[in-house]
Amino acid sequence: MVKYLLQISLVALVVISLFSCEDEGYLNSPDAQLQFSIDTVMFDTIFTTIGSTTQHLKIYNPYDENVLISRIRVAGGDFSNFRLNVNGTSANEVYEVEVPARDSIFIFVEVTIDPNGQNLPMVVQDSIEFTTNSNHQNIKLIAYGQDFKLIKSETIKTTTWTAEKPYLIYDYAYVDSTSTLTIEPGTRIYFHKDAGLYVRGTLIANGNFQNQILFTADRLEDTYKNIPDQWNGIILFSGSKNNVMNFANIKNANIGLQVGTIEDEGHASLELSNSKIENMAYAGLFAIKSKISGYNNVIANCGFYATALLVGGEYEFYHTTIANYWGGYSSRARKTASLVISNALILKAADGSDVTYTGDLEKAFFGNSIVYGNNPMEIELGKNEEKAFNYFFDHCIIQVPDTFKVNNKDHYKNVWKGEEYNPLFMDPYDDYNYALDTLSAAKDIGNPDFAKFFPMDIMNKDRLSDDGPDLGAYERIEKKDEN
């Protein structure tokens, strides 16, 4: 009897084992097809020799049984520019990857492109091959690369940067006090994380409408195109004279352009025109006891101040658009004004005490300009009684509360405020477009005398061709009714 019981038990174990193996089996149909979240993994333009951001794709098993992928590999193998991480395993070729029934796995992809010595974007292609039950499928891999000139922790003597190839700055580029850096029209300068351009001598960045000069971060993927705080910024130290920035675009730094330094004697001077300073984590234009003359500039979208004029100085701005609609980058709402004018600056000393720096504000003039944003108070005035404090707004729209008085003729002339004088920018939130809408209150109300000195706007449109000059950097010219 015991013998028969043992035989029955063995048979039962074999049956259970068979059923168990069947439960743990894989779909073996030669027609099995994986499904993918995308058919091409594409990288926007990246710099040669520098790794990309990580892209990913998802592999789906649409069946009610587990699927075993016998091999996943990059077609180019170990010589490929692309690198894979398959479900946690970093390798360009992996075997026996299980995808549970009605489930999915991730593959992460990175790329590095070798320089080819050419001043043209290059295309690097490969593919990921999948073998499942002798069935072959593939996903395309495409990356666009750009060769560059590397500047790393370098002191710049008098030289000229050309538009032949873009420049990539690691750590810093430093222009010493006896030197001049000239940047030709069309030149592109990219900065790695925490890098900056620091000038004690002179910076001449003189672009033109057709060939503008670009200062921005080195992440060229589309997802990074408007992200602030990707590099430090440009600093013109006090003592740096005769600087010029014309048709220059500065984007995505911490402080876009700092003019003047508190620890150095003297002042910095700058002519700033036809330029855009946008998407800064802290400030766009941060000036300390400096001298700036500017026109046709857009300073926009900064985490604290779009423009700060501190510790005195001399400033003239015509047809300038200061627009701050900061948001979407962090949970912190902006509480500071877009424009700060002060003849003082309070800083913390090493021992924790406050140190106050003051200077005469000889002039802070705004003509035919706009100061606007998404805060009720976009102008802050900080006056130290011991120093001169001269500022003036002439033909300007400003964003201030109704209680803000603009009837003091020593400081205001033809200044408009209130919702009825909303400049109605085209799209300040999503597209960062600060051109004027057709219903903008800023149309045709500027001082013609100012416009005569600056007849062309930032888009090279004639301010003198319609009923009157518009406020700000952009002139809106309506199409004439043909009827």
The stretch 469-479 carries a mean pLDDT of: 94
The answer to whether residues 138 and 160 belong to one domain is: no
Checking DSSP bridges between strand 248-251 and strand 35-36, what pairing results, if any?
unpaired
The reply to whether 218 and 310 lie within a common domain is yes
Q: Is residue 299 part of a domain?
A: yes
Number of helices and strands in the chain (H, E): 2, 37
Q: Which two tokens stand for residue 224?
A: 């990074």
Q: What is the DSSP letter of 185?
A: T
CATH number of the domain at 53, please.
2.60.40.2310
In which domain, by residue range, is 120 found? 35-145
pLDDT of res. 331 = 58
> How big is the CA angle at 170 (ends 233 and 301), to the nearest 5 degrees?
25
pLDDT band, very low/low/confident/very high, at 122 (cuts 50, 70, 90): confident
Q: Compute the average pLDDT of residues 123-151.
A: 92
Token pair in block for residue 124: 């690097």
Residue 84 CA to residue 272 CA, distance in Å, equals 47
24 in a domain, yes or no?
no
Residue 427 belongs to some domain of the structure: no
Report the SS3 class of residue 33.
coil
The CATH number of the domain where 288 resides is what? 2.160.20
Alpha-carbon span 318 to 396, nearest angstrom: 10
The answer to whether residue 416 scores a pLDDT higher than 50 is: yes
Residue 3 confidence class, pLDDT cut points 50, 70, 90? very low
Half-sphere exposure of 94 (CA within 13 A, CB side): 17
165 and 282 co-located in one domain: yes
Residue 479 has pLDDT above 70, yes or no: yes
Judge if 200 and 330 occupy the same domain.
yes
Phi, psi (5° rounding) for residue 185? -55, 140
Task: Indicate whether 466 belongs to any domain.
Answer: no
CA 222/CA 200 separation, integer angstroms: 34
CB count in 10 Å sphere of residue 132: 24
Number of domains in the chain: 2
The residue count of the chain comes to: 483
Does residue 87 sit in the same domain as residue 155? no
**Can you give the pTM of this predicted structure?**
0.82
**Mean pLDDT score of the chain, rounded to an integer?**
91
- Answer yes or no: is pLDDT of 167 > 50: yes
Residues 208, 70 share a domain: no
Is the distance from CB of 373 to CB of 323 less than 8 angstroms?
A: yes
Report which secondary-structure segment, H or E, holds 191: strand 188-191
Residue 378 and residue 272 share a domain: yes
Q: Could you give the CA distance from residue 60 to residue 58 in angstroms, rounded to a whole number?
A: 6
**Rounded alpha-carbon distances, angstroms, from residue 113 to 124, 150, 217:** 7, 15, 18
Question: What is the amino acid identity at position 116?
Answer: N
Quote the CA–CA distance of 210 and 244 in Å, as a whole number. Answer: 18
85 three-state secondary structure = strand
- pLDDT, tens only, 371-401: 999 999 999 999 999 999 999 999 999 999 9
Interatomic CA distance for residues 386 and 424, integer angstroms: 39
Residue where a domain stops, chosen among 126, 145, 164: 145
**Euclidean distance between CA atoms 449 and 276, whole angstroms:** 24
199 pLDDT higher than 70: yes
Residue 71 has pLDDT above 60, yes or no: yes
Last-in-domain residue among 386, 417, 448: 417
Percent of the chain with pLDDT over 70: 93
Q: Which helix (H) or strand (E) holds 77?
A: none
DSSP string, 399-455: ---TTS----TTTEEEEE-SGGG---EEESSSS-EEEEPTT-TTTT-S-HHHHHHS-
Residues 93 and 222 in one domain: no
7-21, 263-277, 322-336, range with the lowest pLDDT: 7-21
Q: Identify the pLDDT of residue 114.
A: 81
Q: What are phi and psi of 15, to 5 degrees?
A: -65, -45
Confidence category of residue 21, pLDDT binned at 50, 70, 90: very low
What's the Rg (C-alpha) of the chain?
31
Q: Has residue 83 been placed in a domain?
A: yes
- Which residue among 89, 115, 145 closes a domain? 145
